[in-house]
Every structure is written in C-alpha cells, then in structure tokens.
Amino acid sequence: MATDISTAAPTSEVRKAGRRRLPPELSILAVMIGMMLLFEVLGWMFVGQSFIANPLRLRIMILQEAEIGIIAVGVTQVIIMGGIDLSSGSVVGMTAMIAASLAQVASYTHAVYPSLTGLNPIFPVAAGLVCGLIAGLINGSLIALTKIPPFIATLGMMVSARGVADWYTNGQPIGNLSDSFAAIGAGWWPVIIFLGVAFIFHIALRYTRYGKFTYAIGANPLAARVSGINVERHVILVYMIAGLLSGLSGIVHTARAISGQAGVGVGFELDAIAAAVIGGASLSGGVGRMTGTVIGAVILGILTSGFTFLNVDAHYQEIIKGGVIVAAVVADQYRQRRRKGA
C-alpha cells in the first residue's frame, strides 16, 4: 500500500511512453560479458594469449556446460513453480547406465544384455528418457499427493536413483557403445540439444498456458488452486519434464563419454540450480526466465574454463565458484530491494 501507484495516476499517461521495462537478463548478461573481458585481460597479463579468440576453448567451454544446461532447463521450471529438484545428478547416473546397456555393439561378447546388442539408437534413447520420466513422475507424485517438501522427496530420489545406477551392473562401467549412439554426443550436438530444449521451454514458459500456470503456482499455490488450476496435476507434470530433461542429459553424457558409468552426474543438480539462480530464478518461486538460466550456465562455463586457462588449481576453482554463486544471488536481491524502494 505504501508504494502505491494510484497516487501517481495523473502523471501515468505522461510516463507511459518513456517507460519500457528492460528485460531483467540484461544485468546478468553484462556480468557475463564483464567476466569474459576480465579473463581476456588476465589472459594477456599472465598467460600471454587471448581468452576469447580461441574457438577450441570456447567450444569446450560450451560443451561442458551443455549437459548441466539441459538439466537446468528442467530445474528452472521446477524452481519457478516454487519447488526444487535434487535428484537430477543421480538420474543422470541412472539413465547413463540404462541407456548404455542398450547401446552396446553387436560384436561385443560380454554385453549386459547379450541378446539386445546392436540396437537402433532409438531404443537406448527412449529407455533413458522413460527412465528420467519415471523418476520425475515419482518425485512429482510424492510432492503433489503426500505434500512432503520437494527437498525431501527429491533427496530421496537422489539417493535411490544413485543406488539403482550402482546396482545395475554392480558398479561396472558399460563400454563398447555403438557409433550411431555415440554420434548423439559428438561435435556440436550437445550444445544444439541444450539450446533446442532451452528454446522450446522458453516459448512454453512465456506463451503457453503451461507456462502461465507454472508461474502462478510458484507465486501463490493457494490462489492458483482457487483460480481453478489443477495444482497437483501441474506439479507432477513439471517434475516429469525435469526428470525427462535429466534423462536426456544422461543420454548426451553417455554418448559423449562413449561409456556408461554409475558415478557420473554427481553434483550436476547443484550446478543446474546454480545456473538457474545466477540467471535470476528465485528459490521462493514465481520468478525466473529461461534466457537467464542459459546465461547462468554460460557464466558457470566461463568460470571453469577461465580458471583452467589461467592454470588456477582445481580446488581454488571450486572455492571461488561457490563465492560467485552466492555473490550473484546477493547482487540480485540487492537490486530487487532497491527497485522496490524500501
């Protein structure tokens, strides 16, 4: 009531013309560019070469974040809806194993399923996606129907899915994958898949009923219910999409590594959450954008490759990365508070 706009009614028409809201991603985009320039300068100072003008490095930088990015696309939607998904990394491990077991070459004699070798890559991909979808369905159903906090439900899935991954081959990696499957992770494909799903869900969030409902539930679940939204169904749907995308990320990772390993994806969920949060999503729900998340993922990538480029020890990298994530959120909070004028 205090920051009441109605008192400004007489001037509102005048202000209307000059008042176009800037997209909130601009500031985070500026941070991204600033970071690149910083590494550029540091590069010339300490390593004697350019950070940006190196296509190979840029490619590696984008590739390593593509898998996180695919997960982050799902996680962003979960966060906008006021939830959280801690299970993504474990689901990556689980789908990696299941997809890999169906993608082995026909000539390999010690295959997991000797009768199911040399399959068309459609089968391992479909199995991986279904696996992610089921994990998401369980997450969503637990949250929507038993009303337990998303943190707990997905924490349970995080532990269990990792268990499934380990149990599947008793921890043995699955190798000898077919070339046609490996092609999915080759070249620019991971990046194309990442940007593709980001684009699809960017459109979905902004222009479809699905998106409007997601924001509404995150902003006020009770009001959403009173407005006739089937909140339970929508919550399940969003977690299923998040699971599906985790599965997709697991497939891409397996194809890129050309091997299925039960231990992959550890910590991916946190990187994905970090990407979303750096990109402006609010953990209390109702706020967030896919474009921001993409930029957030790229920022994480710049950090990793920038430090590697400067030969910073990996341990220091992690320490600094943690600080940057927190700083991003603090800066964002500060900005929002200033905007509210309080």
Site for another protein, rule CB under 8 A? 1-9, 12, 15-16, 19, 21, 204, 207-210, 212-213, 215-216, 219-220, 222-230, 282, 286-287, 339, 341-342
Q: How far is the CB of 110 from another protein (least distance, A)?
A: 47
Closer residue to another protein (CB): 2 or 56? 2
Closer residue to another protein (CB): 217 or 252? 217
Q: How far is the CB of 9 from another protein (least distance, A)?
A: 5
Closer residue to another protein (CB): 59 or 225? 225
Closer residue to another protein (CB): 50 or 230? 230
Q: How far is the CB of 234 from another protein (least distance, A)?
A: 12
Closer residue to another protein (CB): 120 or 208? 208
Q: How far is the CB of 205 from another protein (least distance, A)?
A: 11
Closer residue to another protein (CB): 214 or 261? 214
**Which among 306, 318, 291 has a CA at the least distance from the CA of 58?**
306
Stretch (H or E) spanning 156: helix 150-168
Residue with tokens 């000898």: 176
Residue with tokens 């979960």: 78
Radius of gyration of the chain (CA): 22
DSSP letter for each residue of 29-52 = HHHHHHHHHHHHHHIIIIISS-SS
Q: Give the Cα-Cα-Cα angle 228, 154, 316 (nearest 5 degrees).
A: 125
What tokens does 26 get? 């601009």
Residue 128: alpha-carbon gap to chain centroid: 17
Q: How far is the CB of 289 from another protein (least distance, A)?
A: 13
d(CA 187, CA 237): 32
Q: Please name every residue paired with 104 in a beta bridge, in sequence order, or none if there are none.
A: 177
Number of other CB atoms surrounding residue 76 within 10 Å? 33
Closer residue to another protein (CB): 168 or 215? 215
Q: How far is the CB of 133 from another protein (least distance, A)?
A: 19
Residue with tokens 């940007």: 195
**In contact, 222 and 96? CB cutoff 8 Å:** no
d(CA 295, CA 279): 6
The dihedral through the CA atoms of 42, 47, 48, 50 has a sign that is negative
Q: How far is the CB of 211 from another protein (least distance, A)?
A: 8
Non-local (6+) Cβ contacts of 316 within 8 A are 307
Closer residue to another protein (CB): 240 or 299? 240
Q: How far is the CB of 155 from another protein (least distance, A)?
A: 22
What tokens does 98 get? 């299941």
